[in-house]
A and B are shown apart, each in its own frame.
Chain A
Amino acid sequence: MPQFEYAPAPESRELASIQASYRLFIGGEFVDPTDGDVGKTVNPATEEVLAEVAEAGAADVDAAVRAARTAYEQVWGPMPGSERAKYLFRIARLIAERSRELAVLESLDNGKPIRESRDVDLPQVAAYFFYYAGWADKLPYAGFGPQPQPLGVAGQVIPWNFPLLMLAWKIAPALACGNTVVLKPAETTPLTALRFAEICQQADLPPGVVNIVTGAGETGAALVGHPGVDKLAFTGSTEVGKQIARRVAGTRKRLTLELGGKAANIVFDDAPVDQAVEGIVNGIFFNQGQVCCAGSRLLVQESVAEPLLAALRRRMATLRVGDPLDKNTDVGAVNSAAQLARITELAQAGAAEGAQPWSPPCQLPERGFWFAPTIFTGVTQAHRIAREEIFGPVLSVLTFRTPAEAVEKANNTPYGLSAGIWSEKGSRILSVADQLRAGVVWANTFNRFDPTSPFGGYRESGYGREGGRHGLEAYLAH
């Protein structure tokens, strides 16, 4: 049998020039930390240290919040929306122009395949800025009162799975509404946020409107606890989200949380099989499964389970795992050693509890943090892998017999971020979607994002909505 061996097609890493060390971005300038420490960020695919990055201490966070306050009171808050829009459009265009450089940097720092950072992340990042730039001068028509006002200084803490995209989801609506921001990127993926700071300088954004404080949990805690912050937005784990909610309770600070998920991807017997298989793959192996809305529980109708799983295994055998900078790579590296350990621990629990793991034959690189795409069959609701968020390329397969049972099982989770339905029957899609307690329900597709569409969860998946007109509400007083 002939073999079509795709020769390596690596994207040049020279595009993403990385400095040896990075400082904090406060008041429009890169500054040395005053009381902070220094951390390192590594390339998850090779474990090579990419750069040293400052860790902001309490005094640095205070300086950033003060800079944001000054900018809010003196420049950004009073500025007409039409003027703010110009800055946002400029930033959006700069992101689009520099998208190749940003995509390479994102893949280096995060481990995600360049295919995804180039074809999904960066186009989306630019789209969110373009979209919210369009709202900046139309806020009175957004449905939140005739004269909605900004809240002030927004403290924003974002995760490592989509570093630049989460930055866009947070910063674009905040700035469009007239707020200024202090943003803390995740400690494992700070590089694109710092490059974004350069873009702010390039766009002549007034100093202090955007401040980036890098660092780990302590930096985040300092930001959350700072009395000068009017609004907090957090995307990350449910555990940390709960801590933040406790801390903020009783203060005047507003809070939105985008937390974990354990989405059900429901495949009915009349589903378009080949597209459902694609949707399952995209649902759980996109970004190595490190997606809060990942379709990590496959609920498949028992009558078609066998052929569907056969088709899924065949499809998984064509997934290419390896160098994230190779343009043909489908599945890249897991973001960190800690995350790899968590995925491994939960996968072992799945096997120990009696579910059957299966992975396609694939050669994992020797260095770096890698986990082969895996499915577990024979999973029941009682298994840990059916209940806990794994946040990795691990799919739990459950079966159901009737639409009512599918809905019951899908809803039987503490989370409620997203869900998927696969069926050729429109009436069934509508009735099932109505009954699912999830913020986003995709029909015959999965993991699709659009700036015009709100995103957010139920229950332990958090509260508040990002994206769309709804996303403005979190940053407006009315």
Chain B
Amino acid sequence: MTATAAPLAEVAGSQTALRAFLHGLPGVDQVGAEQRAAGLATRSIKTTAKAWALDLAVRMIDLTTLEGADTPGKVRALCAKAQRPDPTDPTCPPVAAVCVYPALVPVAADALAGSGVHVASVATAFPAGQSPLPGRLTETAEAVAAGADEIDMVINRGAFLAGRYLEVYEEIAAVKQACGEAHLKVILETGELVTYDNVRRAAWLAILAGADVVKTSTGKVQPAATLPVTMVLLEAVRDARDVTGRQVGVKAAGGIRSAKDAIRYLVLVNEVAGAEWLDPAWFRFGASTLLNDLLMQRQRLATGHYSGPDYVTLD
């Protein structure tokens, strides 16, 4: 925020300027940040507020399958669930997107055609990002061509941790270009960046390079999304909008399993970034097991008692 002085266009002009900008960002005090996140997690969300939050959380989910064993059949099943998460309850909204590997994008695009549910794909050598750039760009372009309108890319953490910020910037910018019209979500893999100072710098780097969404994790590294890390991202997009005028979304991915947790994230969004971000366009959950708990909680609010895992679909 104090780093507003430098004209942002020039920041990416050189490694030195970019480094000076990122290291000029205000620091994050770890103890204070974790205390604030823990404080917000004690908000007590009941009755009507809870019903509203559960529906919003459903609409924010990127339903994901990222396994070596993924098949067209599995993806089609997931797409069916994405459109009608709770077959017993037509008031249940669809999720935001289905996220698959690039090879399965055609299947998902076909299954979701006309439904309004987005097709997302992890590109750029997910989850490590450690392969040559031309291959990562090709992967991105092909996923988009096959029908993905959202791309989840991983950043080159090796380059970031080595301090080669300009290289990371240029890679993100190149992927953004390869995305064309598709939305670009940039996965920072915060568990590997370790410090909150790094997380804030990486978020700003991604925002400057053109990210539409900054995302915590691949879900393949522990720790994945945590409340404090997501809070730092929300602070970054909030401050960046004040400076650049451009609004960027946030996606919390990995490790969010319960409706209770999801509501805590929504409280964080509401009180840190602001109510403008309480929309599937600006905040997403990358969590698949979360959906079933949200559905069970919805059923409980509707009927007054808990059902069980057999009252929601497997996938």
Task: Give residues in A with beta carbon < 8 Å to B.
Answer: 1-9, 115, 119, 269-275, 278-279, 304, 307, 311, 318, 327-328, 424, 444-445
What A residues does B52 contact at CB under 8 A?
4-5
Known: A274-B36, A311-B1. 10 other contacts (CB 8 A): A2-B278, A5-B48, A5-B52, A6-B44, A269-B2, A274-B28, A275-B29, A307-B2, A424-B27, A424-B29
Query: In whole angstroms, how far apart are the Cα atoms of A448 and B201 in the complex?
Result: 29
How near does chain B come to A295, taking the closest CB pair, in angstroms?
14
Which parts of B20-52 form the interface with A (CB within 8 Å)? 26-29, 31-33, 35-36, 42-50, 52
Query: In whole angstroms, how far apart are the Cα atoms of A278 and B271 in the complex?
Result: 12
Q: B89 on the interface (CB 8 Å rule)?
A: no
Partner of B43, one of A6, A8, A119, A271: A6
Partner of A7, one of B1, B48, B271: B48
**A444 with B278: CB separation less than 8 A:** no
What 1/0 flags go to B217-240 for Cβ under 8 Å of A? 000000000000000000100000
Query: In whole angstroms, how far apart are the Cα atoms of A6 and B46 in the complex?
Result: 7
Q: Known: A2-B278, A3-B275. Contact between A274 and B43, CB under 8 A?
A: no
Q: Known: A2-B279, A307-B2. Contact between A279 and B42, CB under 8 A?
A: no
What 1/0 flags go to B1-28 for Cβ under 8 Å of A? 1101000000000000000000000111
**A271 with B42: CB separation less than 8 A:** no
Which are the 6 A-B pairs with shortest beta-carbon distances?
A275-B32, A9-B44, A327-B44, A275-B29, A272-B29, A273-B26
Q: How many A-B residue pairs have CB under 8 A?
A: 81
Q: B70 on the interface (CB 8 Å rule)?
A: no
Partner of A274, one of B47, B56, B235, B271: B235
Partner of B33, one of A271, A274, A318: A274
What 1/0 flags go to B135-151 for Cβ under 8 Å of A? 00000000000000000
Partner of A278, one of B32, B266, B275: B32
What B residues does A274 contact at CB under 8 A?
26, 28, 32-33, 36, 235
**A271 with B45: CB separation less than 8 A:** no
**B235 with A444: CB separation less than 8 A:** no
Q: B167 on the interface (CB 8 Å rule)?
A: no
**A445 with B31: CB separation less than 8 A:** yes
Q: B267 on the interface (CB 8 Å rule)?
A: yes
What A residues does B276 contact at CB under 8 A?
1
Most buried by B among A119, A274, A424: A274
**A7 with B266: CB separation less than 8 A:** no
* Chain A: CB-nearest residue to B28: A272
Q: B195 on the interface (CB 8 Å rule)?
A: no
Partner of A272, one of B26, B44, B53, B267: B26
Which parts of B260-284 form the interface with A (CB within 8 Å)? 266-267, 270-271, 275-276, 278-279
CB-defined A-B contacts under 8 Å, sample of 30: A2-B279, A3-B275, A4-B266, A4-B267, A5-B48, A6-B43, A6-B44, A7-B49, A8-B46, A9-B45, A9-B46, A115-B42, A269-B2, A270-B26, A272-B27, A272-B28, A273-B1, A274-B26, A274-B33, A275-B28, A275-B36, A278-B32, A278-B35, A278-B36, A279-B32, A311-B1, A327-B42, A444-B29, A445-B31, A445-B32
What A residues does B27 contact at CB under 8 A?
270-272, 424
* Chain B: CB-nearest residue to A318: B271
Q: Known: A274-B235, A278-B36, A304-B2. Contact between A5 and B49, CB under 8 A?
A: yes
What A residues does B45 contact at CB under 8 A?
6-7, 9
**A307 with B275: CB separation less than 8 A:** no
What A residues does B44 contact at CB under 8 A?
6, 9, 327-328
Query: In whole angstroms, how far apart are the Cα atoms of A202 and B126 in the complex?
Result: 63
Most buried by B among A9, A115, A270, A271: A9
* Chain A: CB-nearest residue to B34: A275
What A residues does B278 contact at CB under 8 A?
1-2, 4
What 1/0 flags go to B231-256 for Cβ under 8 Å of A? 00001000000000000000000000
Query: In whole angstroms, how far apart are the Cα atoms of A119 and B52 in the complex?
Result: 27
What A residues does B49 contact at CB under 8 A?
4-7
What A residues does B47 contact at CB under 8 A?
7
How near does chain B come to A318, taking the closest CB pair, in angstroms?
5
* Chain A: CB-nearest residue to B56: A2
Most buried by B among A1, A3, A6, A278: A6
What A residues does B271 contact at CB under 8 A?
318
Query: In whole angstroms, how far apart are the Cα atoms of A278 and B32 in the complex?
Result: 8
Query: In whole angstroms, how far apart are the Cα atoms of A429 and B118 in the complex?
Result: 50
What A residues does B35 contact at CB under 8 A?
278
How near does chain A come to B305, taking the closest CB pair, in angstroms?
20
What A residues does B267 contact at CB under 8 A?
4
**B1 with A307: CB separation less than 8 A:** yes
**A7 with B32: CB separation less than 8 A:** no
**B33 with A444: CB separation less than 8 A:** no
Q: Known: A119-B42, A273-B1, A275-B36. Contact between A4 and B28, CB under 8 A?
A: no
Query: In whole angstroms, how far apart are the Cα atoms of A200 and B78 in the complex?
Result: 61
**A328 with B2: CB separation less than 8 A:** no
* Chain A: CB-nearest residue to B271: A318
What A residues does B26 contact at CB under 8 A?
270-274
Query: In whole angstroms, how far apart are the Cα atoms of A270 and B271 in the complex?
Result: 24
What 1/0 flags go to B161-175 for Cβ under 8 Å of A? 000000000000000
Query: In whole angstroms, how far apart are the Cα atoms of A8 and B27 in the complex?
Result: 36
Query: In whole angstroms, how far apart are the Cα atoms of A119 and B271 in the complex?
Result: 20
How near does chain A come to B156, taking the closest CB pair, in angstroms?
27
What B residues does A8 contact at CB under 8 A?
46
**B2 with A275: CB separation less than 8 A:** no
* Chain A: CB-nearest residue to B279: A2
What A residues does B46 contact at CB under 8 A?
7-9
Query: In whole angstroms, how far apart are the Cα atoms of A424 and B266 in the complex?
Result: 30
